[in-house]
């Protein structure tokens, strides 16, 4: 009896594993096809000034519209795209679309885009970026690249070198999800970053966790000392906003001011046609 049950369990796990592998293979195939079928597009989440709540720019976030799967979050498909060698072409598409959008908006509206650690060390990132800027006649300072501390886990000197070359194009470099990684903060000395982004996990329950407030205070101080600006992510309520403003954050991002929007909706915000909660 026990032996049978044991076998059953083993068989159960192995078929689970097998179907997981099949899912993964299918996901890879769908991702590959998605590039050809142009199923990827960008959503734009507003960033506002903490001082006057005016729109200062957007973060571009990649979206995958798959007819059968529906919404697949980037946290799920980006790591798969990285592992199966698709981050190069997908990353180029993201850079191209972000620059195209930014070029339709007036300065000083900026568009931030995310660059994954594996994408940073692809050989030609600075060229891809400078060519996209040139194609759209866009000054480098109208876009920002967001990288996480993950870029310093391996190939850190190479990553720093590449970030420095991007910086030389005038492109802003923001350190995303700051404080959630495992790397040292010594690299702040290299002065490649112009901005720290405080992760939403510190922001959202700052009201009930004094520890989070302490962390946010020290991030803001660190940013001041290194002449960087600070963005608070994940601001969902008016209380969150007020707290982050008082703590000295320069810009604010979160559902309070808008979820990631289609280009058309974002464009309406820029044109002042959609006032929402933003000051005009």
Q: How far apart are CA 6 and CA 133, in angstroms?
A: 61
C-beta atoms surrounding 215 within 10 Å = 17
Q: How far apart are CA 206 and CA 64, in angstroms?
A: 32
Q: Does 266 bind ligand C2E (CB under 6 A)?
A: no
Q: Does 73 bind ligand C2E (CB under 6 A)?
A: yes
Q: Which helix (H) or strand (E) holds 145?
A: strand 143-148
Q: Which helix (H) or strand (E) holds 144?
A: strand 143-148
Q: Does 177 bind ligand C2E (CB under 6 A)?
A: yes
Q: Does 41 bind ligand C2E (CB under 6 A)?
A: no
SS3 content of the chain, % helix, strand, coil (to 5): 50, 20, 30
The gap from C-alpha 261 to its chain's centroid, in whole angstroms, comes to 15
- In 136-193, where does DSSP find H-type helix? 156-168
Q: Does 57 bind ligand C2E (CB under 6 A)?
A: no
Per CB under 5 A, the segment of 23-31, 33-41, 84-92, 146-154 that binds Mg ion is 146-154
149 binds, among Mg ion, ligand C2E, none (CB under 5 to 8 A by kind): none
Q: Does 144 bind Mg ion (CB under 5 A)?
A: no
The CA–CA distances, whole Å, from 133 to 23, 129, 188, 193 equal 38, 6, 26, 20
Which residue in 45, 110, 114, 116 binds Mg ion (CB under 5 A)? Answer: 114
Q: Does 97 bind Mg ion (CB under 5 A)?
A: no
Count of residues of this chain found to bind ligand C2E when the rule CB under 6 A is applied: 24
Q: Does 176 bind Mg ion (CB under 5 A)?
A: yes
- Of the candidates 83, 61, 84, the one whose C-alpha atom is nearest the C-alpha of residue 73 is 61
Which of the residues 199 through 238 are near Mg ion (CB under 5 A)?
233
* Whether 121 contacts 128, CB under 8 Å: no
Which of the residues 111 through 170 are near ligand C2E (CB under 6 A)?
113-116, 146
**Residue with the two structure tokens 């099949």:** 22
Q: Minimum distance between the CB of residue 120 and ligand C2E, rounded to whole angstroms? A: 10
Cβ proximity to Mg ion: between 32 and 93 the closer is: 93
Which residue in 144, 149, 176, 250 binds ligand C2E (CB under 6 A)? Answer: 176
Q: Minimum distance between the CB of residue 165 and Mg ion, rounded to whole angstroms? A: 21
Q: How far apart are CA 231 and CA 215, in angstroms?
A: 14
Q: What is the DSSP code (8-state) at residue 41? A: E
Supply 42's token pair. Answer: 């960008």
Q: Does 208 bind ligand C2E (CB under 6 A)?
A: no
Which residue in 1, 52, 75, 208 binds ligand C2E (CB under 6 A)? Answer: 75
Which residue in 55, 94, 163, 223 binds ligand C2E (CB under 6 A)? Answer: 94
Cβ proximity to ligand C2E: between 94 and 192 the closer is: 94
Q: Which helix (H) or strand (E) holds 126?
A: helix 125-135
Cβ proximity to Mg ion: between 30 and 253 the closer is: 253
Q: Minimum distance between the CB of residue 15 and Mg ion, rounded to whole angstroms? A: 34
Q: How far apart are CA 201 and CA 229, in angstroms?
A: 19
62 binds, among Mg ion, ligand C2E, none (CB under 5 to 8 A by kind): ligand C2E
Where on the chain is the footprint of Mg ion (CB under 5 A)?
114, 146, 176-177, 233
């Amino acid at each position: 009896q026990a032996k049978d049950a044991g076998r059953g369990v083993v068989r159960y796990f192995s078929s689970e594993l097998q179907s997981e592998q099949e899912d993964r293979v299918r996901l890879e195939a769908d991702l590959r096809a998605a590039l050809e079928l142009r199923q990827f597009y960008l959503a734009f989440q507003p960033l506002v000034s903490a001082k006057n709540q005016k729109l200062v720019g957007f973060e571009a976030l990649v979206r995958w519209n798959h007819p059968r799967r529906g919404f697949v979050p980037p946290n799920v498909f980006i790591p798969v795209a990285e592992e199966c060698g698709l981050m190069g072409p997908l990353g180029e598409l993201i850079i191209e679309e972000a620059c195209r959008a930014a070029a339709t908006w007036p300065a000083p509206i900026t568009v931030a885009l995310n660059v994954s650690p594996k994408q940073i060390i692809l050989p030609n990132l600075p060229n891809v970026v400078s060519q996209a800027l040139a194609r759209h006649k866009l000054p480098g300072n109208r876009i920002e690249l967001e990288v996480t501390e993950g870029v310093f886990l391996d190939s850190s000197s190479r990553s720093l070198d590449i970030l420095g070359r991007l910086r030389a194009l005038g492109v802003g470099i923001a350190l995303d999800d700051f404080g959630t990684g495992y790397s040292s903060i010594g690299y702040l000395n290299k002065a490649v970053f112009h901005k720290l982004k405080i992760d939403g996990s510190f922001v959202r329950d700052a009201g009930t966790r004094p520890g989070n407030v302490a962390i946010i205070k020290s991030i803001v101080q660190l940013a001041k000392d290194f002449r960087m600006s600070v963005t608070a992510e994940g601001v969902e309520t008016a209380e969150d906003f007020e707290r982050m403003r008082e703590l000295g954050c320069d810009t604010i991002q979160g559902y309070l001011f808008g979820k990631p929007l289609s280009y058309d909706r974002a464009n309406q915000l820029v044109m002042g046609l959609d006032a929402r909660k933003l000051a005009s």
